[in-house]
Amino acid sequence: MKIHLNFGTEVFSLEILFRVAGRFKVWQTIKVGTNKYLSDLKEAIYRDNISCPITHNKELFESKSFILSGKEEDIDLARVTVSELGFKRGTPYQKICKRALRYGLELCPHEVGPRLRIQYENQQKHERLLIAMAPIITDVEMKEPGVVHARHTIFSLINGNYGPWLTEVIGAPDIFYASNTIFIFKITPKSKKTA
């Protein structure tokens, strides 16, 4: 039997409360900071034969808001659904990130998306993972001459019919994500589940 607690408009199961209070399990550990230039990171993706349509998007990979990690380090990652953060009916991206930060998780460095795509070789068929990160902002020219729109992008990892893909989804603050959407967050020492 599941017991649910109601805090205003948000409903939490005891399972969720124990999960966030008792730390998050490390799902994957990856190394970042091994490339000095974004071009090297793109090259690594091509070497691993990964379908990556966004590597053709010059604006994305050369955006000033795309920041490479400045030092080599291992990063622990957690695999968390929107529902596990307490949003049973889904919620906008901004609220997802705020809730995760409150639980001791952190947003991933931009480099996590490409690096995880290279490392995560046994992804389940049709699984989609979204990288919780500060959006990479690029300017997209609209149909009207001289009109430019700022596009907020986050990485997405998919294993589709044609193999593993690294692609992008919109990461604007008000974009709604369903309760079963899976996000990848960085685990901090205080949020890590101990054995």
Contact 27, 75 (CB under 8 A): no
Whether residue 130 is contained in a domain is answered as yes
Whether residue 8 is contained in a domain is answered as no
- Per-10-residue mean pLDDT for the chain, 195 residues long? 41 48 79 79 68 56 76 92 94 96 92 89 91 85 58 88 82 95 88 53
pLDDT of residue 138: 77
SS3 57: coil
**Range(s) of the domain holding residue 152:** 24-191
SS3 64: coil
Whether residue 75 is contained in a domain is answered as yes
- For residue 109, give both structure tokens: 């460095």
pLDDT of residue 6: 43
Whether residue 18 is contained in a domain is answered as no
Contact 101, 71 (CB under 8 A): no
DSSP 2: -
pLDDT of residue 3: 39
pLDDT of residue 67: 79
How far is residue 36 from each of residues 41, 42, 67, 70, 118, measured CA to CA in Å? 8, 12, 11, 8, 17
Whether residue 6 is contained in a domain is answered as no
Whether residue 133 is contained in a domain is answered as yes
**pTM for this entry:** 0.79
Domains identified in the chain, total number: 1
SS3 131: strand
